[in-house]
């Protein structure tokens, strides 16, 4: 039986989804990504849930993709890996309800991307954001960063891979609020409760229109990395 790498707790119309791989700094393994997309799919179909919060167990939001899974892959397995990764990104982006990131600690590489794919971000004072993969020959995902911070800063952060501490993240609009570490989940819940006052259908309509352009841009970017050219989000976008 697979380990529970993603935990879901529901309270009234709000769900908290936690990455549960603390010993590996919540690295996004293939199995974790699978469980995450499955959990989001279930929440998408749950008419009682209006808002979801995504966070990480422990002191790290996510260290990004699990690089140990890249080692020794054949060309065929590399292509399969690309295809799975592409679909994972689309499935998260097209989650049809508001998705808040409670960034409890560092968000690196693919973990940074995951926070960006949420609708907005509440960050712990201990959080920081970085694309270190640029130093190892891996291109950061530009088109999830550009809509949040603008083209100039997106290029800056992708080219340099520099570390963005929480105060700067707030100043440049990368996060919406910074709070003490012990309050990050409570603040995200408060935001979720405010959002949940609206009708589910209205929230889903806003989300759909907000995602349409981003899906087009990210699909073009990912297709340049030998991903399949056409995919449809799991939630019908």
Fill in the DSSP letter of residue 222: H
Per the residue annotation, which of 22, 69, 84, 133 is the catalytic one?
133
> How far are the Cα atoms of 57, 135, 166 from residue 34, in angstroms, in the given order?
17, 27, 29
Instruction: For residue 72, tell me if it sits in a domain.
Output: yes
Our answer to whether residue 133 is catalytic in this structure is yes
Residue whose C-alpha is closest to residue 12's, from 182, 201, 192, 185:
192
What separation, in Å, do the N-terminal and C-terminal C-alpha atoms of the chain show? 32
Is residue 236 pLDDT above 60, yes or no? no
Instruction: For residue 234, tell me if it sits in a domain.
Output: no
Residue whose C-alpha is closest to residue 29's, from 59, 60, 55, 63:
63
pLDDT band at 76 (very low <50, low <70, confident <90, very high): confident
- Tell me the per-residue pLDDT of 30-39, one tens digit each, with 9 for 90 and over: 999 999 999 9
Token pair for 130: 């970085």
Whether 5 and 42 have beta carbons less than 8 Å apart is answered as no
CATH number of the domain where residue 180 is located: 3.90.226.10
How many domains does the chain contain in total?
1
How many CB atoms sit inside 10 A of residue 47's CB? Answer: 8
Structural domain including 112 reads 6-223
58/106 Cα distance (integer angstroms): 11
Residue with tokens 């960063």: 145
Instruction: For residue 50, tell me if it sits in a domain.
Output: yes
Give the pLDDT mean for 43-63: 98
Q: Which pLDDT score is estimated for 15?
A: 98
Instruction: For residue 237, tell me if it sits in a domain.
Output: no
22/32 Cα distance (integer angstroms): 12
Instruction: For residue 231, tell me if it sits in a domain.
Output: no
pLDDT band at 217 (very low <50, low <70, confident <90, very high): low
pTM above 0.85, yes or no: yes
Instruction: For residue 232, tell me if it sits in a domain.
Output: no
Instruction: For residue 200, tell me if it sits in a domain.
Output: yes
- Tell me the per-residue pLDDT of 99-112, one tens digit each, with 9 for 90 and over: 999 999 999 999 99
Whether 26 and 17 have beta carbons less than 8 Å apart is answered as no
Instruction: For residue 233, tell me if it sits in a domain.
Output: no
Q: Mean pLDDT across the chain, nearest whole number?
A: 90
């Amino acid at each position: 039986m697979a380990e529970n790498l993603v935990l879901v707790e529901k309270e009234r119309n709000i769900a908290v989804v936690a990455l549960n791989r603390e010993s590996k700094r919540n690295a996004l393994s293939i199995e974790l990504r699978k469980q995450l997309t499955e959990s989001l799919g279930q929440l998408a179909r749950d008419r009682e849930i209006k808002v979801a919060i995504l966070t990480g167990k422990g002191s790290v939001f996510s260290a990004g993709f699990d690089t140990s899974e890249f080692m020794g892959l054949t060309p065929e397995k590399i292509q399969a890996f690309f295809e799975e990764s592409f679909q994972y990104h689309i499935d998260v982006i097209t989650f049809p309800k508001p998705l808040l990131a409670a960034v409890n600690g560092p968000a690196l590489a693919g973990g940074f991307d995951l926070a960006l794919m949420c609708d907005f971000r509440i960050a712990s004072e201990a959080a920081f954001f970085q694309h270190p993969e640029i130093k190892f020959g891996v291109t950061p995902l530009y088109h999830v960063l550009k809509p949040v911070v603008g083209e100039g800063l997106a290029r800056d952060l992708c080219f340099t891979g520099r570390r963005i501490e929480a105060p700067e993240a707030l100043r440049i609009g990368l996060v919406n609020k910074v709070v003490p570490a012990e309050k990050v989940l409570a603040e995200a819940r408060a935001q979720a409760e405010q959002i949940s006052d609206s009708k589910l259908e209205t929230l889903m309509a806003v989300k759909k229109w907000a995602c349409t352009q981003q899906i087009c841009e990210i699909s073009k970017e990912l297709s340049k990395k030998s991903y399949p050219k056409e995919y449809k989000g799991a939630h019908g976008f």
